[in-house]
Structure 1
Amino acid sequence: MKKAILFLAVFLASQLTTYAWLGVEVPKDDKVLTNYGSSKQDSINGEAFNVFVWNIYKAKKEGWDSQFKSVIKDYDLFLLQEMLTTENVLNIFSHTEGVSFTGATSFMYKKDGKRTGVATGSKVEPTWQKFLRSKKREPVLSTPKITLFTKYPIKNSEKELLVVNIHAINFVSSLSLHSQLQDAADIIKKHNGPSVFAGDFNTWTLEKQLFLKKITKEVGMKEVEFKNDTRKKMFGFILDFIFVKNLQVLDSQVHNDLYSSDHKAISAQLKMIK
């Protein structure tokens, strides 16, 4: 615990130095969601579809765009956290053939107008999209974290796939994280169909891990496991997860070959349980 407190103190001090001059703005509700690009497919193949999840570290590391482009052909859904609307990110969002992206803005930098938050990409256009902000705000910048919800039609099914993309609130109490997770779980619980709940959960204490496992279990979700489990850890606890409901896991992977972020990308091949 002392190690954690020391780390937080150093981190927050560095953030004060780095961001004090920037100034940020949390957008109004009608300015949170932004859509880019267009999809070509009309439905998800419930027999097998592939989900790719990655905290992209604001695409700051060299080679991110080429590494992300290299995996696009192999996946149907892309859940990205720490999205930042830099020129290379916007170029991918707007000009990747056959893929549409929905961005949900946590906050904007006043100096250059860049947006940061989460983004969900798909080769199928969403039929519904919604966001929820965390009720609590993070220290230093006093900004919320955001959860993005999208739904997609499934081939030969009356049901839709619900995809929940989260970047969980950080450097706050376990109860603050619990509140954000519970808000997401309440929407998952009401959905009559298969669901994917994935992203960077910032669960770097035992209590936060237990909250996450308890809430997902209560709504009938199962955790995707990884044989080559080299996911990012903080203080020994894993941060990035994929949970599924009414879906069978056919395969899963941690992408050790993708190095242009401080998080490892993870993916899963899934099948609808009829």
Structure 2
Amino acid sequence: MKGEAVDVELRHFRAFVAVAQLGSFTRAAESLHITQPAFSRTIKHLEDSLGVKLLERSTRHVALTKAGQDFLSDVRAGLGLLDQAVRDSTGRATVRLGFSWLVPDPWIQDTLRLFQASTKASVEFVSCADPIAALARGSVEVAVIRGHAVPTPGVQIFELFNEERVAVCSYASALAARESIPWDEIPDLPLVVNTLSGTTGPWSWPEGRRPETVIETETFDEWIESVAANRGVGVAPLVAQRRIVHPAIHFVLVSDAPPVQVRLACRKSPSAPVRRFVDAALRAALPQDQQAQ
């Protein structure tokens, strides 16, 4: 009936283009990652809804009818406009990256370079004490996390790389006169811990060898000022030595320390810009000579 709505969806159009291009129901179904029976039903539904025969089928051959040839031209044009609209919208998007402190470098610079090469979307940095909680409530789209990752419903985690650790102490500490300290010796000293985003705490050592004195803080500023005041020693990823500038603190190498695991988190079924950011982040975590592959 003229003016009656046609019950077709985007998947019907993409299925039709796939079979027109590949000339085979089997190959077209494989290209779309669906079963051949499901693919055949999709094409039949499209033809029935339009009331037009689009394909001539035989056991060994698939060809477009004249109506199918005309329809293919229109569908390709329409899909091209749709894809362009998606690309334009992606280019206006902003991906919010949550982090608790000191985003790892040069990984973040490489990630931004790769991400911006594939999209016009921008990245906004959001400092938050608990990046996973910020991700869960929608304050950020992706999050950098260090150390143990607690499984969270609806959140997927990607392994990036490991960081070495360094001890952080006050210049007034006896530790400041040393070049290095063994990992197993740190529990003999008062340990300053950031309970929300810290990567080293009493949990880092086995039962029976944990620090007897623990000074708990909840923010990076509280943690670094407690260390500077010589209340105890802190342990942080090596990036801290390059990035923290404080007149009262000193860095000491830690030998035999387990590395700090760095991960990236995002919600399941992310948007196209977030998927591209994750792809760029994973590539940036590779050695430099493999990033362009």
TM-score, normalized by length of structure 1? 0.21
Q: Looking at CA atoms only, which structure, 1 or 2, has the larger radius of gyration?
A: 2
TM-score, normalized by length of structure 2? 0.20
Higher helix share: 2
